[in-house]
Structure 1
Amino acid sequence: MSYMNYSQYQKIMKENNLEPSMAVNLFLNRAKHFQQIIRNIEDKLADDPGNEILLSHINKLNIERWKSVWFAIDCARFEKIQGFKFFEAGGGDKYVNSLMIIHEGNAAEFTEIEKGTVAYFEMLDKMRKRQEAGHFD
Structure 2
Amino acid sequence: MTNAGQISQEVDTIARTIWGEARGEGERGMHAVANVIMNRARVGGWWGNSPVEVCLKPAQFSAWNRNDPNFDLARKVTTQDPQFRLALQIAGRAIAGTLDDITGGATHYFNPNVVLPSWASALTRLTDIGNHRFYV
Greater relative contact order structure (CA < 8 Å, 6+ sep): 1
**Bigger proportion of residues as strand:** 2
Same fold (TM over 0.5): no
Interval containing the TM-score (normalised by the shorter chain) = under 0.3
What TM-score does the superposition give when structure 2 sets the normalisation length? 0.26
- Whichever of the two has the greater Rg, that structure is 1
In the superposition, the TM-score normalised over structure 1's length comes to 0.26
